[in-house]
Amino acid sequence: MAYTTTTRLGIKKAVLCSAQRFETAVFNANYDLIDAEAIAADARLDVVEALGTTQTARLDGIDTLNTTQDTRLTAIETLNTTQTSRLDSVDTLNTTQNTRLTAVETKNSEQDTRLTSVEGINTTQNTRLTSLEGIDAGTRLTAVEAKNTTQDTTLSSHGTRLTSVEGVNTTQNTRLTTLEGVNAGTRLTTLESYNLNSRVGTIEGYNLNGRVTTLEDNFDIYDTRIGTLETVIDGGTP
């Protein structure tokens, strides 16, 4: 006859084939051990159940929080998608604007170069205009006009004198005709002594025709010079 005990509670149990007879005291002691273990386990189960209840509540809170957070994360993800799309549009617009700004900068550089050239030309033109203004064309033209007036008076005077000479020649021709009809021999001899041919030669020696030609040539020269002055005053080629 013999007993063996369990590892956990130390309950006695008969060894097989040992012919150990039943003992009430051992049986009761085993139940006491089981009851004590059950009482201890029940207290621990109460703690576990209470803890389970608390943890369930906490898990419910976590589930609710997770649901809320999931909703918020979904909203953030949606917003991120929208913002990504908008940022892509902004990037595209920035690229386009950068290209346009580069083109504008290039054009501005070209325009600046051209304006600098124009300013240089304007400076040169201003200097040339100042030079032309200093020529005092008005005073010189006034002098030319005065000279023209004098020349016109002189020509008018020559015209009058030529008319007078022509009148004298006509008179002389008439008188010569009369003389030819009267005492042509003796009286012509007398007339010849008057040396009319010499006196006419003297008149011819005045070279009135040549002098008038010279005046006409001078007028052509003056006309050319006045035309040049008009070209300069009216603009012409700077």
Model pLDDT for residues 181-230, shown as the tens digit of each residue: 766 567 656 656 666 566 666 766 777 777 878 888 888 888 888 877 77
- Count CA atoms within 13 Å of residue 30 on its CB side: 14
Beta partners for residue 5, in sequence order: 12
Q: Name residue 210's amino acid.
A: G
Nearest 5°: the CA angle 135, 141, 147 is 135
Averaged confidence pLDDT in the chain: 82
Alpha carbons 179 and 188: distance in angstroms, whole number: 7
For residue 127, tell me if it sits in a domain.
Answer: no
For residue 93, tell me if it sits in a domain.
Answer: no
pLDDT of residue 196: 59
Residues 143 and 74 in one domain: no
Q: Is the pLDDT of residue 98 over 80?
A: yes
For residue 90, tell me if it sits in a domain.
Answer: no
pLDDT of residue 42: 93
What are the b/e assignments for 127-146, b being 16+ CB within 10 Å? eeeeeeeeeeeeeeeeeeee
Alpha carbons 189 and 62: distance in angstroms, whole number: 166
Residues 142 and 229 in one domain: yes
Provide, rounded to the nearest whole percent, the portion of the chain with pLDDT above 70. 82
For residue 189, tell me if it sits in a domain.
Answer: yes
Model pLDDT for residues 48-95, shown as the tens digit of each residue: 999 999 999 999 999 999 999 999 999 999 999 999 999 999 999 999
The domain total for the chain is: 2
| Domain boundary residue, one of 20, 55, 85 | 85
Determine the structural domain holding residue 217 and report its residue range: 137-234
